[in-house]
Amino acid sequence: MKSRILSKSPKKPGNPESIQAALNNIHSSWKKQNNGIINAETVLNILPDMIFVLDEKGRILDYKADPEDLYYQEEDISGIRLADILPETLSEQTFTHINACLDTQKMQIFGYSLDIPGKGIHHYEARMVNSGRKVLLVLVRDVTEQKNMETQLIEARDKAEELSRLKLAFLANMSHEIRTPMNAIIGFSNLLARRLKDADAQKFAGLIRKSSNTLLHLIDDIMLYSRLQSEKIPMKNSLVRPDLLLRDVCETFQLSEEEFDIAFELQVSPSCENLLFRADEIKLRQILNNLISNAIKYSGGARILLGCKRNDSRLCFYVEDKGRGIPQNELPFIFERFYRGDSVRDSNIPGTGLGLSIVRELLTLMGGNIHVETLSGKGTRMIFDVPLEIVAGPKAPVSESGCGSECISDKLRVLIAEDDRVNFIYLQELLKDCSERIDHADNGKKALEMALQNSYDLIFMDIKMPLMNGLEVITAIRQQQIPVPVIAQTAYAQAEERERILAAGADAYLAKPILSEDLEQTIRKVWVKRS
């Protein structure tokens, strides 16, 4: 309800005698304990609050207030009913609290706002007690400054959250836009390395691939670090076998780090063999990848020791190298973001200083810990542990990747939905030997039309496409109950995006850049599920 604005006129404060009497009734025992040194009049003089004495009908018996703070600006408001001077909604609210205070004998605390003539909107907090004989004492405090500060803090928080959201959206888009051309650069450099006969040309193609992978890892680290700082990353637990995880990580590094002659030594405790436990496998891989990358970078990769063992309710992993070690004076800082020690900078070893910071934050999310054992010039051992939640069940999950070429039809009819022409050519090149026919759709709408009109053995679906995105196309295909396997191939590489794509109905997911061996393995997995 719009408040009335009345003309201002000189006023006098209410007679404090009845207020003092009310205070005396409430605080008589307190006054006795203080030998009367602090009396009600002293309290009245120092209180910043407005004070009102009301009867059960809401009539103002007495008050103490600065006239300029009063909503109803008359010379004296003694004897006036609240219903006659306050907005209807506030009057009803006040009478509700009057009745509750009289019925329950409990203090009533409530807030309200008023448009004070000449001062604008002010916010108040009222505290109401029954002082006896159905007479109520109400202390009203102006909390406008506090409310305004809270509003400003909320606005600042909302602005910060929006900026964080925009930053993450920008980084996600940049990651996608960088991964898209990287798919072609890494993919075609792999094909060139296989087909070129000249040794130098093969070497140059390998250097292109290696430099591209370095850039890709850098983008992934920046993206992950930004997410760790800006949002709460959810845990996605699954069943994990630590022995298989370590072997798989070793194989990945041996394939990708060709310029290093890496010898991995695995030390898996017998208690960890065939162990099945629940954990976030993606985060475990990220932690191990960062620690192994550091070990290779700072030791030259001659020999890396990996291991795991059980320790009561914890599962411990360790990564050890025989490199330069970490100087003792640098140990307190190595997990700080962007930190790079003097010895590292002097040696011109590349890096951002984010790897160990990411490791620590991921372990914090998982309820894990990490510590370092190192001797300068003799190597470093990174040891971390995570909670061990053992799962009863089969000790050796059946792998879907062991199927041979006989699982796949000799010649496939394939649809590639890809708006980037270069990436289509790359996929086409990878698939030509096992395909009878390869069709191309450069937008989502066309991909859906072709899927409805033709019979395909396999569809490769990009996610970010014009007219209809890949998720919409996959959903439409499943709604039409077309029994064709769909493999999503996309530059969106975050774990949540993978789950979103699979939830839409995709049979499998490939993150760009796509390697030929990953493509072949994924096709086989899809074929096993189909059969």
Domain regions of the chain by residue span: 16-142, 157-230, 238-387, 405-530
Say what the pLDDT of residue 140 is.
92
Homologous superfamily (CATH) for 238-387: Histidine kinase-like ATPase, C-terminal domain (3.30.565.10)
Say what the pLDDT of residue 301 is.
59
Q: What's the fold here for domain 16-142? A: Beta-Lactamase (3.30.450)
Say what the pLDDT of residue 392 is.
64
Q: Which helix (H) or strand (E) holds 385?
A: strand 379-387
What are the residue ranges in the chain where pLDDT is below 50? Answer: 1-16, 29, 394-407
The architecture that CATH gives domain 405-530 is: 3-Layer(aba) Sandwich (3.40)
Say what the pLDDT of residue 347 is.
59
CB 291 within 8 A of CB 359: yes
Cβ burial of 194 (10 Å; 0-12, 13-18, 19+) is: exposed
238-387 and 16-142 share a CATH fold: no
Give the type of residue at 445: K
CB 510 within 8 A of CB 518: yes
For 279, the 3-state DSSP assignment is strand
Going along 257-378, which residue ranges are E strands?
A: 263-268, 277-279, 303-311, 314-321, 369-375
Cβ burial of 396 (10 Å; 0-12, 13-18, 19+) is: exposed
Q: Which of 221, 239, 227 is nearest to 277 (CA)?
A: 239
The pTM for the full model equals 0.54
CB 451 within 8 A of CB 483: no
